[in-house]
Amino acid sequence: MADKHTDLRVLKTQESIRRAYLELLQTHQAKEITVTQICRRARINRGTFYLHYQDTQALLDAIVGDLVDELAVVIHKYPPRELKDNPFPVIYEAFSTFARHADFLPFLQENGSPEFLDRLKALLNEMLLTEWLPMHSEQKQEDYPYINAFIVSGTIEVFKVWVQGGMQKSARDLATLIERLALEGIR
């Protein structure tokens, strides 16, 4: 029984630390945020912070890691064959996941560090190169890196423009646009 209480306290403390960090990220660059600032805002002592995270970079890595893990679940949820001619479901669900994190994604992008976009690119690269492109036998294998770069970079840039624009466009509209561009180009 004590474990359940301990787990709940740990989760609440970690949530408090993360919330404090994300609030600070709204007005500070990630590299400027200190453990002291986080502790004051979260109303914890430094020792408590260090029980959970080695430093502010480890905290940022954990936040980014959780979001990327959430996206990985979405991406790997769909069998590649289902997405061959209809990638809409996975794109829609990925952008819906982003939309659920609208409270901090803009600040993570603006004031954070490149870790999130780098990890997102790696996740998309893996899925496209190992699962999606090999199903398109009409494409030459030697062209895979170029096709992959085009689709991944385009998707990341759409994501960045969407976040910078206040995430006004719906996940459905973005998924429709990205699917059309990935499958048909700009015809």
- pLDDT per position in the chain (187 positions), as tens? 444 456 888 889 999 999 999 999 888 888 899 999 999 999 999 999 999 999 999 999 899 889 989 988 998 888 877 777 788 888 899 899 988 888 888 877 776 667 788 888 888 888 777 777 667 667 777 887 888 888 888 888 888 899 888 889 999 999 999 888 877 876 6
**For residues 101 and 165, what is the distance between their CA atoms, to the nearest angstrom?**
15
Q: Say if residues 123 and 68 touch (Cβ distance below 8 Å).
A: yes
The whole domain housing 24 covers 1-53
What's the pLDDT at 120? Answer: 85
**For residues 17 and 3, what is the distance between their CA atoms, to the nearest angstrom?**
21
Output the domain CATH number for residue 46.
Answer: 1.10.10.60
Nearest C-alpha neighbor of 87 from the set 13, 11, 154 = 154
Residues 27 and 109 in one domain: no
What's the pLDDT at 128? Answer: 78
Output the domain CATH number for residue 111.
Answer: 1.10.357
Residues 45 and 66 in one domain: no
Residues 83 and 47 in one domain: no
Residues 119 and 175 in one domain: yes
Nearest C-alpha neighbor of 71 from the set 38, 42, 94 = 94
Residues 68 and 48 in one domain: no
What's the pLDDT at 179? Answer: 86
Residues 86 and 169 in one domain: yes
Domain count of the chain?
2
Residues 18 and 81 in one domain: no
Residues 46 and 61 in one domain: no
Residues 19 and 101 in one domain: no
- CB-based contacts of 92, cutoff 8 Å, min separation 6: 171, 172, 175
Residues 119 and 62 in one domain: yes
Residues 37 and 123 in one domain: no
How far is CA 144 from its chain centroid?
24
Residues 46 and 93 in one domain: no
What's the pLDDT at 6? Answer: 60
